[in-house]
Homo-oligomer: A and B are copies of this chain.
């Protein structure tokens, strides 16, 4: 297994499989090619042999250079028991710390309990939302009407690493 920076040429093979990786959900619209072109220093691909089995798209905020943001993470369904997502996040953390960031943010869907548990394990803190659902603090209509999200932040402490 090998982790490397994203290349523009990864876009077509990845966008061709992501709806399938998400069990048929229409995800491709949320991932235009620009993310594989303009944020390559902070975005990563995992390869197993010649197959791309995971990716992470992230960037440094241009509004606040101390903040990094993870937009999209995908892992091939056959490899979800492995620690691929964790390794992608750790690669991203290392890179954005090197770039001077002190915190990483991301959002997930309230129904995605696997994702919520994953982020919590990785040291993300759930930010206070406007509604509590089964102990999860949810920000309603965050990404537009009906698009509720759970907001996560991880602050790097001076003691990390």
On A, residues with C-beta under 8 Å from B are: 12, 15-16, 26, 28-30, 32-34, 37-42, 59-64, 67, 69, 71, 141-145
Copies per complex of this chain: 2
Selected from B15, B61, B142, B144, the residue in CB contact (under 8 A) with A144 is B15
A29 touches which of B12, B30, B61, B145 (Cβ 8 Å)? B30
Q: How many Å from the CB of A119 to the closest CB on chain B? A: 16
Asked if A12 contacts B141 (CB within 8 A), the reply is yes
> In the bound complex, how far is the Cα of B143 from the Cα of A105, in angstroms?
26
A38 adjacent to B61 (CB under 8 Å): yes
Say how far A143's CB is from chain B's closest CB, in angstroms: 5
Interfacial chain B residues near A37, Cβ < 8 Å: 61, 63, 69
Chain B residues contacting A39 (CB-CB under 8 Å) are: 62-63
**What are 22 A-B contacts defined by CB distance under 8 Å?**
A12-B141, A12-B144, A15-B143, A15-B144, A16-B144, A26-B29, A28-B144, A29-B29, A32-B71, A33-B142, A33-B143, A34-B69, A34-B71, A37-B61, A37-B69, A38-B62, A38-B63, A38-B64, A39-B62, A41-B63, A42-B62, A59-B62
Report how far A26 CA is from B63 CA in the complex, Å.
27
Cα(A15)–Cα(B144), bound, Å: 6
Give the residue name and chain of the B residue nearest to A42 (CB). Answer: B62
CB distance from A146 to the nearest CB of B (A): 10
Q: Which residue of B lies closest to A142 (CB)?
A: B33
